[in-house]
């Protein structure tokens, strides 16, 4: 159960303007620009669909030890993250703090010096959310978009559902490509991000909600686990989250033979250890950043010498990301990525299972960890049916791939017109209309009712319909 923070009432007190202020013509107009925003827990990936350029902005507010407050892209100019405290509007994958998010959005989309500055009243917003978001959070988001920012039109969707709009044929060998052009008929998206790892089957452009699975391990969990390991063994790094995240991204990899690598680090063959590396800690006084280097055995420093502070990492390099495939190693009662994919497939009609196994796409920041694809294929192949083809692909930039799919969808104006809600519609019919249309439960004409048996994107919508 997710507790809703106290900032919600601030966002829920807007008054709707009288419906007679809106012309019926507004219900069918398309704004001139479309802003695509993949609002992730760690970063915001945003850009205009026509520009095809995605800009990544830290989705946080930081307070440094010299009491400076840095918002969003301002963090890119910071050189001293020692003991920095971070405030993130997205927790456990869900946007729960609009007070903080609004500060970041204002600097990103309204600041005159921002590359993404726009006029919301003449802009369509395509915004992503996590699967199974609580309806209260969705309503709160709709109100902020239409009543605070006054975007002209808006489409809120689950991030992985945008992936099929990319040309995934480019991800696989040319001699054996998928048979369909975008949007692909069936894709198994593995979204391993900052908060969680989601297994999301997408069939005919719709999320197959009954088969969605979540592993409660993401980049944040791995960083915190590495922080505890390092603090126990070498340096106390419990207050250095930003630095340890850099270390994780620099040195960690996923092993294809965990026991063999562990033997190299601690067994009889320790002398043959080629896994250990050094990470030279940053010197914030001189502005010198941290970096990785080959391991150098420790020597006794001479008295008065000013040696660098060096952190040695050995089995930590592969023990930390191992949790993605073996959460039970630290007592979590969850299956790893490969087993969870099979569990997800069991909830999908049998006729789609082979298609999904042949079109697995890995996205999210953790997809950049070396060895991820090799380990996943090694574990998944024995679990899959012998007659099935297992193909796993990673785009060149797995962090922005969801955004790229959103930009492709936004370029299809007829499809966007069917999916989006205009501000005039929202002011006339309210949040319930927004929820129904984005869940596929309403036609493009207000008041016309459901259009058929469309797969719902969200459990909260199903619950809402039962209550009605």
> CATH code at 101?
3.30.420.40
Question: The whole model's pTM is what?
Answer: 0.84
Residue 2 lies in a domain: no
* Domain match, 342 and 416 both: no
Residue 253 lies in a domain: yes
Domain boundary among 362, 393, 424: 393
Residue 15 lies in a domain: yes
* Domain match, 380 and 315 both: no
* Domain match, 198 and 225 both: no
Residue 134 lies in a domain: yes
* Domain match, 268 and 385 both: no
Q: Among candidates 201, 222, 220, 197, which has minimal Cα distance to 211?
A: 201
> CATH code at 265?
3.90.640.10
**% of the chain exceeding 90 in pLDDT:** 66
> How many domains does the chain divide into?
3
Query: What would the mean pLDDT of 288-308 be, rounded to a whole number?
Result: 71
pLDDT of residue 11 exceeding 70, the answer is: no
Tokens of 304: 């008065």
* Domain match, 61 and 111 both: yes
For 331-340, 348-357, 429-438, which range has the lowest pLDDT when averaged over its residues?
Answer: 429-438
pLDDT of residue 83 exceeding 90, the answer is: no
Distance from C-alpha of 162 to C-alpha of 200, rounded to nearest angstrom: 12
* Domain match, 304 and 435 both: no
Domain boundary among 393, 416, 436: 393
* Domain match, 315 and 441 both: no
For 328-342, 374-388, 420-434, which range has the lowest pLDDT when averaged over its residues?
Answer: 420-434
* Domain match, 146 and 13 both: yes
pLDDT per residue as tens digits for the range 352-397:
999 999 999 999 999 999 999 999 999 999 999 999 999 999 999 9
Distance from C-alpha of 132 to C-alpha of 161, rounded to nearest angstrom: 13
* Domain match, 113 and 13 both: yes
Residue 329 lies in a domain: no
**Could you tell me the residue range of the domain that residue 274 belongs to?**
219-322
pLDDT per residue as tens digits for the range 112-121:
989 999 999 9
DSSP for 432-453, written as a single string:
HHHHHHHTT-S-SSTT----S-
* Domain match, 386 and 411 both: no
Torsion (CA) 143, 149, 150, 153 in degrees, nearest 10? -80
* Domain match, 37 and 142 both: yes
Q: Among candidates 376, 372, 374, 365, which has minimal Cα distance to 342?
A: 376
Domain boundary among 348, 369, 393: 393
Residue 200 lies in a domain: yes
Q: Among candidates 467, 449, 448, which has minimal Cα distance to 459?
A: 467
Residue 313 lies in a domain: yes
For 25-34, 164-173, 409-418, which range has the lowest pLDDT when averaged over its residues?
Answer: 25-34
* Domain match, 71 and 42 both: yes
Burial environment of residue 396 by CB neighbours within 10 A (0 to 12, 13 to 18, 19 or more) = exposed
């Amino acid at each position: 159960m997710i507790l809703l923070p106290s900032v919600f009432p601030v966002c829920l007190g807007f008054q709707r303007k009288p419906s007679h202020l809106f012309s019926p013509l507004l219900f069918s107009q398309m704004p001139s620009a479309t802003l695509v925003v993949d609002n992730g827990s760690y970063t915001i990936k945003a850009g205009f669909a026509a520009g095809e350029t995605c800009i990544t902005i830290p989705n946080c507010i930081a307070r440094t030890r010299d009491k400076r407050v840095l918002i969003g892209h301002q963090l890119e100019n910071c050189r001293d993250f020692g003991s920095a405290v971070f405030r993130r509007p997205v927790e456990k994958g869900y946007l729960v703090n609009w007070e903080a998010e609004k500060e970041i959005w204002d600097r990103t989309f309204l600041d005159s010096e921002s590359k993404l500055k726009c006029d919301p009243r003449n802009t369509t917003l395509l915004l992503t959310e996590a699967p199974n978001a609580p309806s209260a959070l969705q309503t709160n988001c709709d109100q902020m978009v239409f009543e605070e920012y006054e975007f002209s039109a808006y489409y809120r969707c689950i991030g992985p559902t945008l992936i099929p709009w990319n040309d995934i044929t480019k991800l696989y060998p040319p001699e054996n490509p998928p048979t369909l052009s975008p949007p692909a008929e069936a894709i198994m998206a593995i979204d391993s991000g900052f908060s969680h790892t989601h297994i999301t089957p997408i069939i005919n452009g719709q999320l197959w909600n009954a088969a969605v699975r979540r592993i409660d391990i993401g980049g944040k969990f791995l960083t915190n686990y590495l922080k505890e390991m390092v603090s126990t063994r070498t340096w106390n790094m419990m207050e250095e989250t930003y630095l340890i995240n850099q270390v994780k991204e620099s040195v960690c990899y996923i092993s294809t033979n965990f026991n063999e690598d562990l033997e190299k680090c601690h067994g009889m063959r320790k002398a043959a250890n080629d896994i250990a590396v050094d990470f030279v800690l940053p010197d914030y006084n001189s502005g010198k950043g941290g970096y990785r280097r080959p391991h150098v055995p420790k020597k006794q420093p001479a008295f008065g010498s000013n040696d660098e502070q060096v952190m040695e990492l050995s089995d930590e390099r592969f023990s930390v990301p191992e949790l993605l495939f073996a959460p039970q190693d630290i007592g979590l009662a969850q299956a790893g990525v490969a087993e969870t994919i099979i569990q997800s497939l069991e909830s999908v009609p049998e006729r789609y299972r082979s298609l999904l196994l042949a079109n697995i796409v890995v996205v999210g920041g953790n997809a950049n960890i070396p060895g991820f694809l090799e380990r996943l294929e090694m574990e998944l192949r024995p679990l899959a049916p012998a007659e099935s083809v297992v193909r796993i692909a990673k785009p060149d930039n797995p962090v922005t791939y969801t955004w790229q799919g959103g930009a492709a969808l936004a370029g299809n104006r007829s499809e966007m017109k069917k999916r989006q809600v205009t501000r005039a519609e929202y002011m006339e019919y309210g949040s319930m209309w927004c929820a129904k249309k984005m869940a596929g439960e309403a036609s493009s004409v207000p008041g016309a009712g459901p259009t058929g048996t469309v797969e719902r994107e969200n459990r909260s919508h199903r619950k809402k319909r039962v209550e009605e």
